[in-house]
Structure 1
Amino acid sequence: MDLNTTPAEDAFRADIRAWLESNLPHALRDKVLHHKRLNRDDYASWHRLLGQRGWSAAAWPPEYGGPGWNATQRHIWDDECARAGAPIVLPFGVSMVAPVLMKYGSDAQKRRYLPRILDGTDWWCQGYSEPGAGSDLASLRTRAERDGDHYVVNGQKTWTTLGQYADMMFCLVRTDGDAKKQEGISFLLIDMKTPGITVRPIITLDEDHEVNEVFFDDVKVPLDNLVGEENRGWTYAKYLLGHERTGIARVANSKREMVFLKRLALAQKKNGKPLLDDPLFAAKVASLEIDLIALEVTVLRVVANEAQGRGPGPEASLLKIKGTEIQQGLTELMFEAIGPLAAPFDVSFLESARAHSVAGDDDAAPLAAYYFNYRKTSIYGGSNEIQKNIIAQMMLGL
């Protein structure tokens, strides 16, 4: 693996940086860089803006409307977007269900859904986790039974991120109750406007409506919305999760947050000196930064493998574990650095209803909510404990 960039790659980075500086709306950048909450319009408008440039799906091949960037170019794109303060492109459509459709979907499904994912017409959500079937996903109990030209779906999904906005859900359902757990699951595409679907909010500890529980009561789904073969959904789910876990590492975002942490620690004083000069605190920051550098090198190894046509394997679990641990570590050190100043909980400021925090410190005001929200990262996408089991089995042969 060669860590040096070529002149062409340097020029590509310069072009991306210049475009972001000219086109990323300042209000949107301010929200991201200051840890404010993004709403539906924020995500949708950014997706549309990227779509006009042909960049809403950075990893897609040209035949489906993507830019055709190689793995290194996509890494540079992620790096520059994070540095500039751009919102993430929500992964559910572009990075999760779309690769499954490209590999396993019918021609009709590709023609129907991929253009609508690309231009942001359809907002997608993920129907995987259930009560009692989160990390042990194969224990899911939502059933789909054939009835003429439809499946009839009954059951419940939970922790459905941004499902309150969704037009479509990609959903794992049990279609054979007598088969082994992994062998009786199918992958369905469900229109969220179908009668019988109820979406109820779950308000998280940071008082945000980000996740939901979704109930299915005799929901009719056309047989044409089955992806691939019936009872082969576990194969498609594993393929999707490999893409999800690689993306969860979010190295570029963590690099940006490391800069923010250092700035925060320089502004705070301890015994009349910047907190970052305190040996104990500086050691914590240094240890975390070393982990982040090592994680980025690991990501670059995966990028190099992709350039040679090898997709993410168990390395995705490594990225997921360490990436989320670093994300949590950053929020912990921010909270530690700011101390009692993070205690006031100003929801109006977080939601941009007022320009400045009532507590008077705009950097400190979002940090409590930021810290609590990031407790989830070691759980979603398959808990880190489960990822360690995958590594033990697939990489160590245990």
Structure 2
Amino acid sequence: LTIFLDEFRRYENYVKKEVTFVNYVRDPKQAQVYVLFLSRETGSGGRENTLYFAGQKEFAGINDTLSFITKPLGTEDIRRRELVKVLKIGLMKYIARTPQRNNIIINYKPSIGEELPEEVKDKWNYWVFNISPDFNYRAEESYKNLEFNCRLSSNRITENWKIELFYENEYQESENVTPEKTYRTIRRTNTFQGLIVKSINNNWSAGVDTRANSSTRFNTRLSLSVAPAIEYNIFPYSQSTRRQLRFLLSLWAKNVQYNEETIFYKKSENLFGTSLRISESIYEKWGNIWSSLEGILFFHDTGVNRLEFDGGINYRIFEGLSLRIRGEISLIHDQLFLPIKESTPEEILLRVRQLKTNWEYRISFGFNYRFGSKYSNIVNPRFDRGRRGYRFR
């Protein structure tokens, strides 16, 4: 039996070492069974892992989907062992249709002790808390950089409700020494977000997004906003790991207090507007594609707006050749926060302040071509350099 593993990434070598009764091929068109592995985070911080099996050639039309949950404190070894177990179970319906079935032995290990009740009482009532401080310091003879970041989050996610509370504090201080002068810069950012979403049915949901933030880079002493919203997903949310096409419409109100007077001679103001976000993602045998388009409009002046697009594709052109493209573009006409005071050359070079711009874009692309033997069963970890790769010395 020949199979193709898609999106297995860091688990691919482990799977090949543990599942030895199949042949692994490099191209999905050469496989009798195509297997796609997708994963998403659960409300408790664990992972919902899903394996999609698609029969090809003589197994065309024989498809299956198997899922398993790993706990948030589970190790990588626990997750990959469970992955191998579920993969073997999923492959049995194909093995059963080949002469290999005569070499398969099935063992059953009964559970020890009483079975868990169907409904388990959770003393935390599905609440999950996370604290993540980070400290970084780097220094050279003419350069010093200190960064401190602290994230606090609290989430409660069930089938009917999604509640997310998030706070982040960022502090960065850098010093650049030149023969003429020493440049010292400081950036501070504080962000809070509270999100409450109610599931209406398998396609509709409604919620409220509240935010508070301050930023020296964006000339904001304090910004408070609230945005009720409604979302429609053309595909059922239960299919979200394979495909999504979502429309998110929101109305928002915002009060902003600035650090310095803006180019519109404002020290504070109340703003109202609306936004529409369309996002899609699809995972198929040929690869995957994702994109999002968001438009933001201010009610007091329709000339104040923003349009953003973000998208990418990973596409297998033919056997061994794959293409990847990623791009972002923004049309920006909503920089109400720009200070009337001109930025100094130092602030411009060190990007301490956000400068006026009507657009921003970035693009990346590349390809990978692999040829040779179509089989890839053997794993040899000798002299493995891990993530360090080959370095010039």
TM-score (normalizing by structure 2): 0.21
Higher strand fraction (1 or 2): 2
Higher helix fraction (1 or 2): 1
Which structure has more relative contact order (CA 8 Å, sep 6+)? It is 1
Structure with bigger gyration radius: 2
TM-score (normalizing by structure 1): 0.21
